[in-house]
Structure 1
Amino acid sequence: MVSTPRILALAAAGSVLLAASACAPEPEPAPQPSASAACAKESLVTRTPGKLTIATDEPAHQPWFVDDEPDNGEGFESAVAYAVAEKLGYARADVVWTRVKFDTAIAPGPKNFDFDINQFSISDERKRAVDFSAPYYLVRQSVITLKSSKIAGRTSLADLRDAKLGAQVGTTSYQAITDLVKPTVEPQVYNSNDDAKKALQNGQIDGLVVDLPTAFSITSAEIDDAVIVGQLPQVGTPEAFGLLLDKDSPLTGCVSGAVGQLSGDGVLKQLEQQWLAQVAGAPELT
C-alpha cells in the first residue's frame, strides 16, 4: 500500500509534467518553398535545362512579329515573350525559338516547346487539350476605312458620330458601334465580314468595325487601300489571348504568374501601345 505522502508526491510530479507539456512549443512545420522560389529559374523543369523554348507559327506576321524573325524582339508578341522569359530568369541568350503550326499547337498531345505565343484565344474547349496562361492581351474592336474615306485620319469617337458604320450582325463589333460610337446614322449589319468588306469597298459604308487582329489582316493583305482609323475602348466581354502550354504543364503556374506581374507592372500596356498603337498605326480613339 502506497502511503499518502507518496501519493501526493506522485500527483505533484504529474502536475509539473503536465504543465511543462502544456507550455512546450508545438514543433514547427518544415519550411515550404515560396512561390517565388518554386518559379526561380533553377527550379523550373523545361525541355532543355537552362533554356526556355518558345514556339510560334511560320510565317510570323506583323505587328505581332517583325520580318518573320521572332528572335529579334520586335513586334508585340516577340516583345511579350522576351518579357515573360526575363520574369522567369531567362536571359535573351537562353531563349530558343521553334516553329509550330497553329492547329498542331492546339491539338492534344505532348509539345516540343515550353510555351507557344501565336494569338491563341482562350476557350473552355481548348482548355480540355492544352493549358493557357493568364491573358496577355484583351482584344479590342477597331474601325477600318478606305484611304479616300471622309473618316480616314479621324482621332476620336466624336469624330465618328456622323459616319455610316457597319459590322457583322450579333457581334461585339456591332455592340461597339451602338454602345461606344453611338452614331447619328443607323449602323449597317451584315451576315458576314466578307459581306461587310464588300460594302466598304463599294462605298456603301464609311467604315467597318472588326476586332483588331482582323483589322490588321484586312489592311495588310485583303484590301489594298484600307487603313485602320483606330482602336475603340473595351466593350462587352473581350476575347483574350493566352500563352499556350502542354496540358498540365509544370510551368503553367509560373508562366501565368509572370504574365500577371507584367500586367500589374503596366509592362503589357506599354508594349501594346508601342507595337500595336504606334508602330502598327492603330491609335486609341477616345
Structure 2
Amino acid sequence: MKLRKVTAASAAVLALALAATACGSGNDDDSSGGGKKIKIGIKFDQPGIGLKQPDGTFAGFDVDVATYVAGQLGYKPDQIEWTETKSADRENAIQRGDVKFIVASYSITDEREQKVDFAGPYLLAHQDLLVKKDSTISKGTDLNGKKLCSVTGSTSAQNVHDTIAPKAQLREYSGYSECIAGLQSGAVDAVTTDDSILAGFAAQDKYKDQFKLAGLKLSNENYGIGLKKGDADLKKKIDDAIEKMESDGSWKKAVDKNFGPANYRNEPAPQIGHIVK
C-alpha cells in the first residue's frame, strides 16, 4: 500500500516536471527574449531590402529594421531565425504562426488588414522607374514605344501601361535580377517596381553608377510590419521600437547604408499609424 502511494506521488511530481519542461522548450517565441528564438519573415532575394548572401548571412534595410525591433523586444541578433516569406504567402505565414512578424517590403493595404495587423509604417516608398544613367526617360509618357520590364505576376508594369503609357512594350521576366540584367544589356529600356527595391538593386557594386531612378512617384507604398491580427500588445511594442529607431538616428543610418549608393531620395521617416494614400 505504501509502495503504491509513493509511486503515485512520484508520478505526479514527474508529470509536473514534464509539463514545466514542455512549457520552457521548443521554438516558441515571445517578447521577453531570454534564451528563446524569434522567427522573423523577410525577403531573401531583394538586394538592399532583404537578401541572403553567399556566406549565409542576411543584409538589407528590412533586415536592419527587423534586427533593431527584435533587439527592443529583448532578442539578440543570434536569437533571430530568418524565414523566407514570399509575397503571395505572407498573410498565410502569419496566420499559421510560422513567424512572429514579417518585415518584407510589405505594403499596408485595406485588403491585407482584413487578415493581419500592421505596425508602422516604417518606410514610405513609391512605384518608380529604373533607367540607365544616360537615359532620356524622365516622365511616364516617355515610355511609349519603349520596352518596360517587371516580374511575372506583378501589376506594376501593367498599371503604367494602362494609365500612363499605353504604347509601352511590356516585358515580363521571372525576377527583378533578370530585369536589371536586361536593362544593363539594353534588352529593356526601364524597370518598374517600388523605388526602394530598385534602389537596392542599383546600389550593388556590379551596377555602380550605371542606373538612376526617374523619381516619378507613381504610387504610395506604406511599408508596415505584419503580425497576427488582434495582437495589440506586440503591435504597440513594435510601434514603440520603430519610433525609437527613427528618433535615435538608426533609421537614417540604415537608409543611407542600404540605398545611398543609388542616390535614393527617401521620404522622411513616416509617422506611426499614418497611411499616405
Q: Which bin holds the TM-score, normalised by the shorter protein? A: 0.5 to 0.7
User: 2:12: which partner in 1?
Assistant: none
Paired positions, count: 212
User: 2:41: which partner in 1?
Assistant: 56
Distance 2:66 2:56 in 1: 10
Residue type matched to 2:224 in 1? G
The structural deviation recorded for 1:191 is 6.3
Partner residue of 1:112 out of 70, 83, 98:
98
Distance 1:285 1:45 in 2: 36
User: 1:75: which partner in 2?
Assistant: 60
The question of whether the paired residues in 2 share the 8 Å contact of 1:47 and 1:113 is answered with: no
Residue type matched to 2:236 in 1? G
1:133 paired to 2:115: no
1:89 paired to 2:79: no
Distance 1:75 1:212 in 2: 14
Distance 2:107 2:42 in 1: 15
Distance 1:244 1:69, change over 3 A: farther
Distance 1:114 1:161, change over 3 A: closer
1:238 paired to 2:223: no
The structural deviation recorded for 1:51 is 3.4
**What residue ranges of structure 2 are gaps of 5+ in the alignment?**
1-28, 149-156, 173-178, 267-277
Partner residue of 2:142 out of 149, 156, 165:
165
The structural deviation recorded for 1:246 is 1.2
1:211 paired to 2:200: no
State TM-score, norm by structure 2.
0.57
Residue type matched to 1:283 in 2? N
Distance 2:243 2:237 in 1: 10
Distance 2:158 2:51 in 1: 33
Distance 2:264 2:196 in 1: 15
Q: Which string of whole-angstrom CA distances, capped at 9 and with x for unpartnered residues, describes residues 243-279 of structure 1?
A: 111111241111122112222334223211210222x
Residue type matched to 2:171 in 1? D
State TM-score, norm by structure 1.
0.55
Distance 1:191 1:49, change over 3 A: farther
User: 1:194: which partner in 2?
Assistant: 171
User: 1:261: which partner in 2?
Assistant: 244
Identity of aligned residues (%): 20
Distance 2:42 2:105 in 1: 10
Computing the radius of gyration from Cα coordinates, the structure with the larger value is: 1
Distance 1:132 1:190, change over 3 A: farther
Distance 1:96 1:236 in 2: 35
User: 2:88: which partner in 1?
Assistant: 103
Distance 1:99 1:67, change over 3 A: closer
Distance 1:162 1:258 in 2: 38
For residue 79 of structure 1, give the secondary structure of its aligned residue in structure 2: helix
Distance 1:84 1:164 in 2: 41
Residue type matched to 2:40 in 1? A
